[in-house]
Amino acid sequence: MIRLLFIGDVVGRSGRTAVLEQVPLLRARWALDFVVVNGENAAGGFGLTEAIFQEFLDVGVDAVTLGNHAFDQREALVFIERRPRLIRPVNFPPGTPGRGAVVIENSNRVRLLIVNVMGRIFMDALDDPFAAVRRELGLYPLGAACDASIVDFHAEASSEKWAFGHFVDGKASVMVGTHTHTPSADHRILAGGTGFITDVGMTGDYDSVIGMDKEEPVRRFTSRISSGRFEPALGPATLCAVAAEIGPDGLTKAIAPVRIGGLLSPAEPSFWN
Ligand SMILES: [Fe+2]
Ligand SMILES: [Fe+2]
């Protein structure tokens, strides 16, 4: 069995603190094989720096995925080229720095394929995410090129996310939705054996507007006038994640939400205790 933890969009210092504190504890407690984190909002809510990326690796994160904020910190355009465990959406235009799909191997020689891809509904106009992921899953078939796989589908619309789950059902171990920063309660195993959730939720302060200090967003919604920058909220984070147990056939046998700390009600997988 392969034990995988995927942590949703880490927002600012509050979210980073939760990752740095919790990942070493959870790795040991649950004997995790892989920890993957969405880091697109880790640096002040916008993008990721190399220093933060390294901090995540140092506490036991295996790989970091991104999204529409991938290159908000311009340095990411450069350092992503020398960091194979940093993965940006696979359907960015040809010539974009970095990779959208990577196979990593842990110390037990277990291989995990990680694909990051962006949806198109209420998002930037990008290449077809369905075709892009079909191509990557074809290049790295489950059971041949990898022992397990996870697709981080970074998208706004739940309909597109459900459709994507069914599209990869039986071909990927897990499909997690990210980007809305709001955890959904629909984690389940699809008919073909793929673990699924519409959105993992963010790792950040929920006394906020999707992780940002609430005053400025509320002002903009009510007055249409921006009077300041969006800044991450600084209260204690809820670490939001999904735990998945993947069998020898590469399909998911158990999936559960994880919520630790902060304002949301706690949740942990019963199958690892
Ligand atoms: Fe995000
Ligand atoms: Fe996003």
Tens digit of pLDDT for each residue in 28-86? 999 999 999 999 999 999 999 999 999 999 999 999 999 999 999 999 999 999 999 99
Q: Which ligand is nearest to the CA of 182?
A: 1
Q: Count CB neighbours of 162 within 10 A.
A: 16
Q: 153 has which bridge partners?
A: 117, 177
Q: 169 has which bridge partners?
A: 172
Q: How far apart, in whole angstroms, are the C-alpha atoms of residue 226 and residue 238?
A: 28
Cα 108 to middle of ligand 2, angstroms: 32
Is the model's pLDDT at 266 over the cut of 90?
A: yes
* Protein residues placing their CB within 5 Å of the ion ligand 2: 67-68, 179
Cα 45 to middle of ligand 1, angstroms: 8
What are the b/e assignments for 238-263, b being 16+ CB within 10 Å?
bbbbbbbbbeeebbbbbbbbbbbbbe
Structure confidence at residue 215 (pLDDT): 95
Cα 45 to middle of ligand 2, angstroms: 10
Q: Tell me the per-residue pLDDT of 120-175, one tens digit each, with 9 for 90 and over.
A: 999 999 999 999 999 999 999 999 999 999 999 999 999 999 999 999 999 999 99
**pLDDT band of 242, cuts 50, 70, 90:** very high
Structure confidence at residue 220 (pLDDT): 94
Residue type, 77: L
User: What residues have CB less than 8 Å from 261, skipping those under 6 apart?
Assistant: 18, 22, 236, 237, 238, 239
Q: How far apart, in whole angstroms, are the C-alpha atoms of residue 4 and residue 127?
A: 29
> What are 193's two structure tokens?
């054996």
DSSP string, 12-65: HHHHHHHHHHHHHHHHHHHT-SEEEEE-TTTTTTS---HHHHHHHHHTT--EEE
**pLDDT band of 273, cuts 50, 70, 90:** confident
Average pLDDT, the chain: 97
Structure confidence at residue 224 (pLDDT): 87
Overall pTM > 0.85:
yes
Please indicate whether residue 69 is annotated as part of the active site. yes
In the set 69, 179, 181, 187, the catalytic residue is: 69
Cα 182 to middle of ligand 1, angstroms: 10
**pLDDT band of 256, cuts 50, 70, 90:** very high
Cα 153 to middle of ligand 1, angstroms: 12
Q: Which ligand is nearest to the CA of 41?
A: 1
Q: Which ligand is nearest to the CA of 116?
A: 2
